[in-house]
Amino acid sequence: DTAVSQTPKYLVTQMGNDKSIKCEQNLGHDTMYWYKQDSKKFLKIMFSYNNKELIINETVPNRFSPKSPDKAHLNLHINSLELGDSAVYFCASSHVLNRGRYGYTFGSGTRLTVV
């Protein structure tokens, strides 16, 4: 069983479209995250949710909106896609009791290409 699963793995879309990336974890973790990895491989946190509550909200355009229906799911919706949104988006999860011990568990990433 995949611990943190993201769908889709690849997403090609046109500028101006709206798209969503889904993430689910079956580890029983209480916190989930979205990270963006740009073309230079730099990873930067975007959002985190703890038990469905938004905890971290970095400087991200309002076109990006995370949604957490329950603590096992954290989806990322992107409106009005722009060329600069092309990147790999990683979902991750952790548990408050052991995130220092084990860091985060990452999904396999979604490569978003905006054309």
Judged by DSSP in three states, 95 sits in coil
Q: How far is the CB of 38 from another protein (least distance, A)?
A: 10
Q: What's the token pair of residue 47? A: 């959002």
Residue from 12, 54, 55, 97 touching another protein (CB under 8 A): that is 55
Number of shown-chain residues binding another protein (CB under 8 A): 25
Residue 89 interacts with another protein (CB under 8 A)?
no
Residue 69 interacts with another protein (CB under 8 A)?
no
Dist. CA 51–CA 30, nearest whole Å:
5
- For residue 5, the tally of other CB atoms under 10 A from its CB is 15
> Using CB under 8 A, which residues numbered 5 to 24 contact another protein?
none
Query: Is the Cβ–Cβ distance between 81 and 15 less than 8 Å?
Result: yes
Residue 48 interacts with another protein (CB under 8 A)?
yes
Q: How far is the CB of 97 from another protein (least distance, A)?
A: 12
Residue from 40, 69, 83, 115 touching another protein (CB under 8 A): that is 40
Dist. CA 72–CA 69, nearest whole Å:
8
Query: Is the Cβ–Cβ distance between 75 and 98 less than 8 Å?
Result: no
For another protein, the binding residues (CB under 8 A) are 31, 40-45, 48, 55-56, 88, 90, 92, 94, 99-106, 108-109, 111
